[in-house]
Amino acid sequence: MTLAEKIAWDDTILPFQLDACDMRGRLARLDGVLDGILGQHDYPPAVEALVAEMALLTALIGQTIKLRWKLSLQVQTRGAVRMIATDYFAPSAPGEPARLRAYAGFDADRLGDGAPFAQLGEGYFAVLIDQGPGSDPYQGITPIAGDSLGACAEAYFAQSEQLPTRFALSFGRSTEAGERERWRAGGIMVQHMPGAAAGRGGDPGPDAVDGEESWTRVNRLLRGVEALELVGPSVAPSELLARHFDREVPRVFDFQPVRFGCTCSKARLRQSLSIYSAQDIATMTTDEGTVTADCQFCGAHYELDPETLGFDAPRAPDEGGCDDD
């Protein structure tokens, strides 16, 4: 296997369908994306692991939904890791990569020695879908429960979408011969489509039993996938599916590339501050006479002239940012 073949599978999402049992899924591998996300911050290991898991879930779920703009996953808790936020931006055109970003807020002095998930505590897991101007945003919430963020995502689909969903996820630091240590993540998402449970055409019948049996079997097979198979890079995604789900007749579609990407810019920041009065802006102004802001996702630092901010400020010229080519 060549290095080029391995690289071709990194930072991709592979949609597939199990034709023999009317189930669909996604298989994702993240490498450089995690470097981009985690390289912006000096997170403790437990926080890194939670952000990596959340980013992997976001890639899998985001590519499942026919988005015109953005999917966001958010975790808000009372624990040491107060929040995790991720965004998946749909491709702007066919063949273009999707973009993924993530960050976490935490209290370092409250982090314990337990498992990463134990650092969350009581809170909620939210799914937000924004289809852009002219569309109403969607939000679904489920309590933090289970033993992983993947379990929270499964609970969301079961409760809010009535769609049985299972994830097999693997992530961590990896070192290959001659390369530096880096984060890698890989995962599979499988969903039991309504037609499989109720019989084709929606009418109860023999397929209903077969559908439940198939779902039980696919869950068992999913648990048999090894961590190293998920993260790669030595096992091709199509080979992994054929190895574990051959009886289910996997059919793969085109890869979706995904990259680390942010949409911050001075123009967006200026827009977010347009709701404030000149008096409010004055309270945000530093001793140096500027209003400053840092992007939590990519680390970009912005300095703005307070005279150009607020709802009564004159229009400023176009300014660059992360979302500019």
Residue 122's pLDDT band, with cuts at 50, 70 and 90, is: very high
pLDDT at 4: 47
pLDDT at 196: 44
Question: CA 82 to CA 280: how far, in whole Å?
Answer: 27
Residue 312's pLDDT band, with cuts at 50, 70 and 90, is: low
Q: Give the mean model confidence (pLDDT) for residues 80-101.
A: 94
Query: Does residue 5 have a pLDDT over 80?
Result: no
Q: Give the mean model confidence (pLDDT) for residues 15-25.
A: 93
Residue 315's pLDDT band, with cuts at 50, 70 and 90, is: low
Residue 314's pLDDT band, with cuts at 50, 70 and 90, is: low
pLDDT at 316: 53
> Is the sign of the CA dihedral 115, 120, 125, 127 positive or negative?
negative
Q: Give the mean model confidence (pLDDT) for residues 26-45.
A: 92
SS3 of the chain: the string is CCHHHHHHHCCEEEEEEEHHHCEEEEEEEECHHHHHHHCCCCCCHHHHHHHHHHHHHHHHHHHHCCCCCEEEEEEEECCCEEEEEEEEECCCCCCCCEEEEEEEEECHHHCCCCCHHHHCCCEEEEEEEECCCCCCCEEEEEECCCCCHHHHHHHHHHHHHCCCEEEEEEEEEECCCCCCCEEEEEEEEEEECHHHHHCHHHCCCHHHHHHHHHHHHHHHHHHCCCHHHHHCCCCCHHHHHHHHHHHHCEEECCCEEEEECCCCEHHHHHHHCCCCCHHHHHHHCCCCCCEEEECCCCCCEEEECHHHCCCCCCCCCCCCECCCC
pLDDT in tens, 273-297: 788 888 888 888 888 888 888 878 8
Closest by alpha carbon to 12, among 285, 302, 237?
A: 237
Lowest-confidence pick of 43-47, 120-124, 266-270 = 266-270
Query: Does residue 88 have a pLDDT over 80?
Result: yes
> Is the sign of the CA dihedral 288, 289, 290, 292 positive or negative?
positive
pLDDT at 197: 42
Beta carbons of 200 and 194 less than 8 angstroms apart: no
Query: Does residue 268 have a pLDDT over 60?
Result: yes
The number of angstroms, rounded, from the C-alpha of 79 to the middle of its chain's C-alpha atoms is 21
- Ordered by where they begin, the domains of the chain are 12-260 (3.55.30.10), 262-325 (3.90.1280.10)
Tally Cβ neighbours within 10 Å of residue 30: 29
More confident residue, 27 or 1: 27
More confident residue, 274 or 157: 157
Query: Does residue 65 have a pLDDT over 80?
Result: yes
pLDDT in tens, 200-256: 444 444 444 467 889 999 999 999 999 999 997 788 999 999 999 999 999 999 999
pTM of the model: 0.85
Average pLDDT over all residues of the chain: 86
Q: In the chain, pLDDT over 90 holds for what percent of residues? A: 56
How far CA 211 is from CA of 16, 112, 190, 200, in Å, comes to 18, 43, 14, 10
Q: Quote the tokens at residue 251.
A: 């059919």
- For residue 260, list its beta bridge partners: 100
- For residue 291, list its beta bridge partners: 304
Under the phi-then-psi rule, with left for phi > 0, alpha for psi from -120 to 50, and beta for the rest, what region is 317? beta
Query: Does residue 6 have a pLDDT over 70?
Result: no
pLDDT in tens, 165-211: 999 999 998 766 666 778 899 999 999 987 644 444 444 444 444 67
pLDDT at 199: 40
